[in-house]
Amino acid sequence: MIAFMISTPFGYSSELMNSKEDGEDESDNMNGPDTLSKFLLMISMLIILVYPNVLPSSITRWYLSISSINVSALIIVLFILNVALVNKDAAQDQFFMRQISSNSTFKMDGVYENMTIEDAERMNNIWNKYDLLMMIEPGCIKRTPNHNRWCDFRGENGEFKIALFGNSYTMNHHKMVIQECRKQAFNISMYSEKGCEPLAADPEDPNCVEKLNEFVEYIKDSNPDYAFMFTRFFIINEPFSNNNTDLEKDRTYLEMRKQLKQFLPFIKKKLYILDSIPRVIADNVDTIVKNLKSGKTIEEISKTLIESDGYERGRIRHSALVKECGNKCELIDYLPLFWNKTINMVQYFDERGFSYFNSLYHLSPHGIEHVRPIYNKICSSLE
């Protein structure tokens, strides 16, 4: 049995694409029912080969009477049919992904007005299965052999250098930001680091503590006019030190301030910082369509998708940090875009069931399209 292999596209290194964060399980990306159907098909074929008498006698007599040439032709036909049927969905997925990845102007989510809830179920499954592979911009040239995750895109004869950096949210967002900002830039660089935030690190995580200096080194080396910090937050949302809301006594905030002061001298114009929002409960993303079909309300479904993760603390810290920074820093806030005023909470899917997040915590292509207007406005106003 033959299966299609999804390889790392466009020459991206495995280090660059290995962007799963802490808590993300490789097994979450597997399609259970599809795997089961392939297994059952294989077992059925083996049983027939080993015990041909399970077939009706008329079929067995016909099979034994045909010539070797016809047997060979039959085997080839059945083999081709087997490959086509088993890999039909994979082939469709591959074609869809190539369409998106090969055309930088293609609508990234492939969602259109005439689509139905069945389309939402199919698309959500594809987004969960392929995650960041759906959102890769080709042509990022590795800057230095000493840093596998630093790379540069060419702009379109614009006047600015732009830097994109953070954890896997950087990889998650970069294609869309490049589409929006490319005309204003002559260079767009990227540094996407697995599971580590540029502004603070868990002191018990030596890898992320070490990466704090590397983020500073990247900004210093890039020396951009504008920088965008993309982060799915961990440590920045953690409880305040000793439960004291005085930020001057908060270890995390003091580290954020220290990091920011090291970034700013090497950013000529402005640093955009993505603000904290509630984290999606990734395991429940694939239940959205099922719950809609069963008649559950948007509010009921939304309650299954969010948890109390301390995002408010992240927003408090960011607000204070940007206030200290002044005009050189600006927050990018997704909360108003996802907030449903009727139910007074975030809604992470649209009315047809297309999810704004995937089961690996990243924004889905539909989610990226949902926030695109923010970046269109920012990039068109760069001066």
Q: What is the pLDDT of residue 41?
A: 65
List CB contacts of 21: < 8 A, sequence separation 6 or more. 167, 168, 194, 195, 232, 234, 361
In a domain, 279, yes or no: yes
**How sure is the predictor about 123, in pLDDT bands with cuts at 50, 70 and 90?**
very high
Place 94 in a pLDDT band, splitting at 50, 70 and 90.
Answer: low
Neighbours of 25 (CB within 10 A): 12
Q: Indicate the pLDDT class of residue 206, thresholds 50, 70 and 90.
A: very high
Q: pTM for the whole thing? A: 0.79
CA distance 236 to 281: 18
Query: Is position 198 within any domain?
Result: yes
Print the domain residue range for 257.
Answer: 135-380
Residue 19 lies in a domain: no
Least confident span in 18-22, 38-42, 243-247: 18-22
Among the listed residues 329, 208, 167, the one whose alpha carbon sits nearest the alpha carbon of residue 257: 329
Q: Would you say residue 105 has pLDDT above 60?
A: no
- Does residue 47 lie in a domain region? no
Listed in sequence order, the DSSP H helices in 164-250 are 168-181, 206-222
Domain annotation covers residue 24: no
Question: Do the domain assignments include residue 57?
Answer: no
Determine the average pLDDT of the residues in 130-158: 91
Largest CA distance in the chain: 88
The enclosing domain of 173 has a CATH number of 3.40.50.1110
DSSP state, 306?
A: B
Structure tokens at 65: 């009477």
Q: Tell whether 75 is covered by a domain.
A: no
pLDDT bracket for residue 76 (50, 70, 90): confident
Q: Which of 1-5, 33-37, 142-146 has the highest mean pLDDT?
A: 142-146
Give domain status of residue 87, yes or no.
Answer: no
Q: Which of 69-73, 77-81, 203-207 has the highest mean pLDDT?
A: 203-207
Q: Is 72 exposed, middle or buried (0-12, 13-18, 19+ CB in 10 A)?
A: exposed
Q: What's the pLDDT band for 8 if we cut at 50, 70, 90?
A: very low
Phi, psi of 12 (to 5 degrees): -65, 140
Of the CA atoms within 13 Å of residue 364, those in its CB half-sphere come to 26
Distance, in Å, from the CA atom of 17 to the CA atom of 61, rounded to the nearest integer, reads 54
- 85's tokens: 């049927």
pLDDT for residue 309: 79
Name the nearest CA neighbour of 367 among 295, 323, 305, 299: 305
Q: Which of 83-92, 191-200, 224-233 has the lowest mean pLDDT?
A: 83-92
Please state the domain count of the chain.
Answer: 1
Pairing of strands 270-274, 329-332: parallel
Mean pLDDT in the chain?
85
